[in-house]
Amino acid sequence: MIAFDADVLTDILGGDAALAAKTADTPAIEQAVPIVVDEEILRGRLHASRQAESKKLKLSVSRAYELFAETFNVFRLVKTLPYSGAADALYSEWRSQRIRGGTHESRQFVLSIQQS
């Protein structure tokens, strides 16, 4: 199983043909997205929609919502890795040991190794 991190999934959603082709080599049943990645990407899409509405972004409101819909549809096709109590315990253990890494990146990694 492969679990996409936010950067890779964002590149695929953005049209990176090389990554999309590489991903196509892995059966859909073997692809997953940690729930924290879903959250991170959806937050970005919602932020882009708000920025487009206030004209702070060179993106039309309709295009911002198209991107949101496309992202939402992709998430429906790929298995979501839940954030469990065991994942939270492992994440907390790493934090107490001062293992470096961003909050979302560490949680993504926890979910990925738990599914291996």
Angle at 87 between CA 83 and CA 90, to 5 degrees: 155
Binned at pLDDT 50, 70 and 90, residue 106 comes out as very low
- The ranges assigned to domains in the chain are 2-115
Among 33-37, 86-90, 108-112, the range with the most confident prediction by mean pLDDT is 33-37
Question: pLDDT (tens digit, 9 = 90+) per residue, 39-98?
Answer: 999 999 999 999 999 999 888 999 999 999 999 898 888 899 888 787 777 767 767 776
Q: pTM of the predicted model, to two decimals?
A: 0.70
Q: Is the dihedral of CA 20, 45, 73, 63 positive or negative?
A: negative
Distance CA 24, CA 88 (A): 31
User: Which run of H or of E encompasses 62?
Assistant: helix 61-77
Element (H, E) at 69: helix 61-77
pLDDT of residue 99: 62
Q: Going by CATH, does the domain composed of 2-115 fall within 1.10.1060.10?
A: no
